[in-house]
Structure 1
Amino acid sequence: MLKRIVFFSLCLLACFRTSAQELRANVSVQASPQLGNSTDRKVFSTLQTAMSEFINNRRWSDDAYTPAERIECNFLLTINAALGNNTYRATLTIQATRPVYNAGYVTSILNTQDPNVVFKYVEFQPLEFNEQRIVANDPLVANLTAILAYYNYIILGLDYDSFSPRGGDNFFKKALNIVNNAPDGKDISGWKAFEGNRNRYWLQDNLMNVKFARFHDVMYQYHRLGLDQMYEDTNKGRASIMNCLNLLMGIHQELPNSMLLAAFFNAKNDELVKIFSKAPPQEKARAVQMLAQLDVPNANKYQQLK
């Protein structure tokens, strides 16, 4: 009888593990003040539910996750304009975190904003996505799910990169597939190189470009050899993060003003200030020097470390 109980318990555990999804997303849809009062806001509530179910209930990988392993993330969709015919223009803010070993602390792996979200949504319409047929029947309907799927894969790729060397490659390839087959239309933007130097195309391009190969080394070293080691040896962990700054400086000197490095420092700037605030004077000065060059928008923040 005991063997049978154990067997059935293991079967239930296996079913439970394989049913758990990868992401635990907090999804919010809100109207910006500029939208005015002419639009029925009830549709935003059903859209929020549909987005939450799409992100949280769909399997995005073949790996088994326990509920505790799910990646914490936030998706905030701000509706800026109603274009008519159930079509909207919006800004999407995406944040994702990763827990740090032996610490009650999470580190940001992505904190970005996408202002190029135009989509069509009819109330109670289910959100559907097929990697083999991304555009489906209506590019404007497909654009929202393509954008959400794209950022889900970016989040997964960065998270996997932070736990194993080049661990996120398969997810970045899935993001590339979406970019290559993205919806196209008069109001749709963000998927093409010529539409700007800070969009979905360039983030994915940088992640897949061999010239940025050292960035993936940084993601692993920064998290596994840096943050995860600080519980046992703060100096050793901080030294690994300093080495990451050296690697990033090499990328910056060859490819200045890249979107990938901007995205990295947008997620990490406050954390880096805290990490080097307690460093020895010489190490702190070197960190400030590099950070001010690597992350010009936050240079004043780093200078306060002196």
Structure 2
Amino acid sequence: MRKTFFLLILGLCSHLLVQAQELRATVSVVANQIGTAVDRKVFVTLQNQITEFLNNRRWTEDSYSQGERIDCNFLLNVTQSVGNNTYKASLTVQATRPVFNASYTTSVMNTMDNNVTFKYVEFQQLEFNENRIGGNDALVSNLTATLAYYVYIILGMDYDSFSLRGGDPYFKKAQVITNNAPDGKDIAGWKAFEGNRNRYWLQDNILNSKYSRFHEAMYLYHRQGLDVMYDDPAKGRASINNALQLLLAIHEDTPNTMLLATFFTAKSDELLKIFSQAPPQEKQRASAMLQRMDVPNAQKYAQLK
């Protein structure tokens, strides 16, 4: 009887291990700019529901152990109440990936989306249907569509960092969301004509064959670069340098793409640390490349000279 009980518990634990979801998301909903007209409990409830939505939903068909879940942060900053339970907000999304043989984690995603308008009534279910993304109410669906979009971008970036073009299936899911996104006069961020830094352009750049070298750069940077630096720092830096050469080719073809801006937002501080340990000539080459590609952080990279 005891053996049977032990095997039953072991089987249940194994099942839970296999069924672990993909994300370990920390969610914060802040509403410091909203007056007392809205009960603050609404945002606490929303934070809890978003946490459950992100962490308890299966986003892939792969099996994840608890230790393999992707650490990420979602910060929803509610900036305005426009009435009828409708809010305007910004969304900051960050995700990290562990580096092999190290306690260090590297940022694979760090972006802010300033165009999140949504409707939320406390305790309403957060629903997302990939076959009917617009739902019954576009403003209600816009929140979950936006969250799901960034989940798939995170998954794509993570998979790309472990295998060449491994993220394609998830980037394509983000594209499907974009193409079928909720639509309305108060909803923005899903269309090309709404600006050159939005959800449309990020997924467009990622899947555009013109920028296909980005995927090779992601693999070189992480799997053949960071992951080997514990055993061979020079070899790891060489792969990261090769990744930067690929990104430079993209920059020379099309300067100021959202894709490269997103990459360097996540990587600028890390790149400075990586090449600060390089020989002088290698530092100078890296500094020159980085200053050309990442103008907002040019002064930072000038320290490498």
Relative to the length of structure 1, the TM-score reads: 0.97
Which residue matches 2:255?
256
Q: Does residue 32 of structure 1 match 2:32?
A: yes
Let me know the Cα RMSD of the aligned residues.
1.5
Which residue matches 1:11?
11
1:40 shift after superposition: 1.9
2:290 and 2:2 map into 1 onto residues whose CA distance is: 60
Unaligned runs of 5+ in 1: none
1:18 shift after superposition: 2.8
2:32 and 2:295 map into 1 onto residues whose CA distance is: 29
Q: Secondary structure at the match of 1:29?
A: strand
CA offsets, 1:27-73, max 9 Å, x none?
0000133x333322110000001100000000000000011100000
Which residue matches 1:131?
130
Letter in 2 for 1:144: L
CA offsets, 1:228-275, max 9 Å, x none?
000100000000001111100000000111000000000000000000
Q: Secondary structure at the match of 1:235?
A: helix
1:4 shift after superposition: 6.5
1:194 and 1:45 map into 2 onto residues whose CA distance is: 35
Q: Does residue 219 of structure 1 match 2:218?
A: yes
Which residue matches 2:154?
155
1:10 shift after superposition: 6.1
1:140 and 1:151 map into 2 onto residues whose CA distance is: 17
Which residue matches 1:143?
142
2:81 and 2:173 map into 1 onto residues whose CA distance is: 31
CA offsets, 1:162-204, max 9 Å, x none?
0001000000010011000000001000000000000000000
Which residue matches 2:169?
170
Question: Kindly tell me: are residues 290 and 53 of structure 1, through their superposed partners in 2, closer, same or farther at Cα, counting changes over 3 Å?
Answer: same
CA offsets, 1:126-155, max 9 Å, x none?
100000001110000000000000000000
Which residue matches 1:235?
234
Which residue matches 2:76?
77
1:7 shift after superposition: 6.2
Letter in 2 for 1:116: N
Q: Does residue 47 of structure 1 match 2:14?
A: no
Relative to the length of structure 2, the TM-score reads: 0.97
Using the aligned pairs only, state the percent identity. Answer: 66
Letter in 2 for 1:16: L
Letter in 1 for 2:65: T
Structure 1 stretches of 4+ with a deviation exceeding 4 A read 1-10
Which residue matches 2:294?
295
Which residue matches 1:189?
188
Which segment drifts farther, 2-11 or 15-24? 2-11
Q: Does residue 22 of structure 1 match 2:14?
A: no
1:87 shift after superposition: 0.2
Q: Secondary structure at the match of 2:82?
A: strand
